[in-house]
Structure 1
Amino acid sequence: MEKEFWRTIEMEKCYHCGELFSQTFRCDKCGQEYCNRHKDPIDHECNLVRESLNMQDNPSHQHGGFNYEDSYAQRPQWTEQTPSPNRRGPERRGTTDGSFTWYREQRYVPENAFDPDSGIEFKGILFPYKSEALHLLVGATLIFIIGFIGFYNEQLIELDLTWSIFMLAGFYTTAFLFHEFGHRQVAKHFGLQTKFRLLTFGMIITVIGLVMGIFSLLLNTVALPSLALPGAVVVLGLDKINRQTGLTKIAGPTVNLFYGFILLIISFLIPTALYPLNLFMGYAAALNFILGGFNLIPLGILDGKNILQWNKGAYFLITLWMVIFLVFTLLNIYIVEISLYIPR
């Protein structure tokens, strides 16, 4: 257990989030001051802070000598012609909540950080310098396969409903992609560098999803595909919980909420004479509500953790609507007596 030394300081800045606090905690490992929320080594990624400090040529950085008020515009951009004066070999950064955190003593992000010549060595990303199109293709293909396996059922084939398996797998894939595109577009709106990337940890989850899908196939049951995350949108520059971070994080679940709502409306507009097309469209809507709701869980790398820290009202509002639409959709799918999909 790392020791922490508490002291009262007049408006001391937290080394991780940069906000002012009257009370801070000194980490015995890296020697920096942190607020109550980031005082634990795991919360301020202590090992990476020490690594970052060790790469500084100026010893004053090791004692909090960085001027936090330096703005992005006042700092030079890293280019091949103007290398960083403080850089000593490849920069290394870890991930926090699915987004790369840039410590405040190096607040600015190099131009074209995703290029091999940027000097940035990403952790936890497979093939970090390959094209975004390749990452998207691999990720979408894996998601589609998991969806196909999860929805595969011999009874559907016997009923000449093979098309429904491909349909649901396709909607499962688009639910995942649209979620990530939501993060991506909002981040771009704020001028942040962002790309979709395959994640090492996410690929492990994907393998688990494939195994669960195979079990579903072997049991010959129609079930919702297992959740999988072969990759995610990586955003550079989300360094603290603020409006920019909150809106970027909430964009993904919001896209799923609206996409699912549109599919739900379409499912009810389809005549019952075309059953089970309307039912499968309801399944597609439920997939979005499930994916969005899952990402709203305030744990680990999921979006819900940062959204809740940013704005509790926004978090509970979107969670409430997600649950309402999910319950309503599932009732119509599984309760025959009240279902609006079944021909009467």
Structure 2
Amino acid sequence: MRKNGGLALVRRIGRRVEALGRRARRSHRLAFVALSLVQLVISIASFIWMTFVPASFLIIPLVVGGVLLRFGELVALTGITAAFGSYVVLSRGMTMPRIGFVLVLVIVGWIMITSAKVRSRLGVAGTRSESMLMELRDTLTAQGEMPPLPPGWRVEVAIQSAGGSTFSGDFVVSTMHGDFLEVALVDVSGKGIDAGTRALLLSGAFGGLLGVVPVQEFLPSANQYIRRQDWDDDFATVVHVVLDLRTGDFDVRTAGHPPAIQFDAWSGRWQTRDADGPLLGLMEAPEFKANHGQLRLGDALFLYSDGMVETPRRDIGRGTDRLTGHAERLVAQGFVGGAADLVATAGGPGDDSAIVIIHRMAHG
């Protein structure tokens, strides 16, 4: 019983601390006043009981302020902390260790202020900026989620960012209208976090175009949108597929992107579906031709980014052969888990890698 009572007490304390943290995030002025009072209490206690309350405790509220406070409030708290710390420490005598502590206190404050200044440019304070980035990342991930498909069809998506970050220059958008599935795999110039901001911008725009404009107008409309951004040397490549889920007929259109690959279950052969088109964002009115095909029972269609097939030491042709060699191993298992497997085994570690597998199962 005592143990359960102790756990209940810890939980109550934890809930109250969490509630205070949420209230402090909402009321920056309250947090500033509270932290200033804490610094005052620590300074007085350290001045009286320097053995039991070291002046280094002043760093803790300063770091907490760097998380909770706005830029101006953090500057004020840093000044208060430096003043209190200097008075408490230097009143005991001017020695090198004490002068060094004051310098460390000022340096920590400067680091906190620098971080807060970057966040202040966004107009947000504390951890809210990080929360916004996580929400944007979740939005980018949600854009790539496939809609529910009828029996007999399965789609797998896997994306791996360069450097292991959660932001990638490769992304997928999809929609389904009637019996037609539209999927676009996009590769933004750059990689990892450097391309993440442009990928977030384009994912929303391309997701809005998909299923709204006629299928043959998707790539020209996407091209116009990128050109309106007035980027210097940035561009995007896209492979766009429209699939009739009743018949298996599909059209593939590409814009500077590696060709799609089709697996023919009846012959066991792999065929590239090349529909060569220019990069998005470089030409005023490019034309994009469609490559027509059909997925029969057991067939699969692979869409992938250049990070899956191209490296500084390997061209796209050899990389495509290598990718099909890896995919050949997955035929026996019906390509289940194949997207994640191929990204892990064939994806280049120095570039973003993405793959989409559309499989018409032999048994519905």
Please give the TM-score of this superposition, normalised by the length of structure 1: 0.24
Please give the TM-score of this superposition, normalised by the length of structure 2: 0.23
Q: Which has the larger radius of gyration?
A: 2
